[in-house]
Amino acid sequence: MNEDLKQKNTRLIKKLMFVVLGMFGFGYALVPIYDVFCDITGLNGKTAEEAVQEGVYQVDVSRELTLEFVTSLNKKAPLKFSSEVKKMKLHPGKYYTVNFYAENLTDKKMLARAIPSVTPGLAAEFLKKTECFCFSEQEFKPLERKVMPVRFVIDPKIPERFKTVTLAYTFFDNTETSVKN
C-alpha cells in the first residue's frame, strides 16, 4: 500500500515537473512566437530585418499615399540624425530613395543601430525596403557624418484604408555592448 503510494507520487511528480520545465521553455518560446505574432498582426510595426529582392510592381498612379519620416535618438546616443524630407507623397509600386543623415558628435568611434518602426502597424508588411541603414549596425568614425539612403517601394496590394504611413527610426548607441562582444 505505502510502496504503491510512493510510486504513484513519484510518477505524478515526474509528470508535473515535465509540465514545469515545459512551461519554462514555453516562456522562452514566446519570444519567437511573439515575432511571428507581430508579423501577422502588425503589432509594433516591425519591418523586415533584411533587404527584400527588388521586385517589379505595377505602378498605381491613381493612388497617392503620404509617407512621413520620423527620426529619433535614444537618450544615450550622441548623434545628430535627420532625414532629407519629413513628408512625401508617393504612388504604390514605384521605387523611391530618401537620404538620411547622421553625425557622430563625439570624438570616439561609435557603433550605432537604427531601429525601424512603422505605424499603422498593419501597413508595415507593405513597405518593402531594398536598401536600408537599419539592416546592420553602423560604424561611425570620430565626428563622422554619414549619408544613408533608404530605397523602398510600397506594395500596391496595400489596402485602400491606409492613406498616411509613418516610418520611424530610432538610433541607439551600441558602442559599449558591441565592443564587449
Partner 1 sequence: MSANVAAHDDHHDHGPEKGIVRWIVTTNHKDIGTLYLAFALVMFFVGGTMALIIRSELFEPGMQFVDPQFFNSMTTMHALVMVFGAVMPAFVGLANWQIPMMIGAPDMALPRMNNMSFWMLVAGVLLLASTLFMEGGAPAGGWTLYPPLVLQTGDALPFAIFSVHLLGISSIMGAINVIATIFNMRAPGMTLMKMPLFVWTWLITAFLLIAIMPVFAGAVTMLLTDRFFDTSFFDAAGGGDPVLYQHIFWFFGHPEVYVMILPTFGVASTIIPVFARKPLFGYASMVYATAAIAFLSFIVWAHHMFTVGMPVAGELYFMYATMLIAVPTGVKIFNWTATMWKGAMTFETPMLFSIAFVVLFTMGGFTGLMMAVAPVDFQYHDTYFIVAHFHYTLVPASIFILMAAGYFWLPKWTGNMYNERIGKLHFWLSAISVNILFFPQHFLGLAGMPRRIPDYAVQFADWNMISSIGAFIYGFSQLLFVYIVIDTIRGGTGEKVTDEVWEDAKKHSLEWTLPSPPPYHSFTTPPEKIPTEHF
Partner 2 sequence: MTAPVREFMRHEYDHCLNKRFTAVANLSYCSKMIFRDDGFDGIIIFTSLLLQMGGYSVKKTMQLFASFVLLMLGLGKADAAYTLNLTQGVTKISNELYDLHMLILWICVAIGIAVFGTMFYSIYHHRKSKGHQAAQFHENTTVEIVWTIIPTLILIGMAIPATKAVIDLDDIEDTEMSIKVTGWQWKWEYEYLDTGIHFFSSLDEESNQARQIGSGIDPKSVPNYLLNVDKPLVIPTKTKIRFLFTAADVIHSWWVPALGWKKDTNPGFINEAWTYVEEAGTYRGQCAELCGRDHGFMPIVVIAKEPQEYARWVEEQKALATAAANAAEQEWSKTDLIEKGEALYVNNCASCHMADGAGIDGTFPALTGSAIVTGDMNGQVELMLNGKDMMPAFGTMFNPVEFAAVATYIRNGLGNNVGDSIQPSEIKDLQASLAD
Choose among partner 1, partner 2, none what residue 168 binds, the Cβ cut-off being 5 to 8 Å by kind. Answer: partner 2
Please select the residue that binds partner 2; options are 13, 20, 70, 147, rule is CB under 8 A. 70
Q: Quick one: CA dihedral 79, 80, 86, 92, positive or negative? A: negative
Beta-strand relationship, 65-73 and 164-173 = parallel
Indicate whether 23 belongs to the interface with partner 1 (CB under 8 A).
yes
Tell me which residue of 127, 118, 119, 121 sits closest to 157, measured CA to CA: 127
From 16-24, 56-64, 132-140, 164-172, span contacting partner 2 (CB under 8 A): 164-172
* Cell of residue 46, nine digits: 516591425
- Residue 153 or 175 having the CB closest to partner 2: 175
As a whole number of angstroms, the distance between CA 174 and CA 80 comes to 16
* Cell of residue 2, nine digits: 505505502
Choose among partner 1, partner 2, none what residue 107 binds, the Cβ cut-off being 5 to 8 Å by kind. Answer: partner 2
Question: Footprint of partner 1 on residues 37-76 (CB under 8 A)?
Answer: 38, 41-44, 46, 49, 74
Question: Footprint of partner 2 on residues 40-59 (CB under 8 A)?
Answer: 44-45
From 34-42, 81-89, 90-98, 146-154, span contacting partner 1 (CB under 8 A): 34-42
As a whole number of angstroms, the distance between CA 86 and CA 164 comes to 13
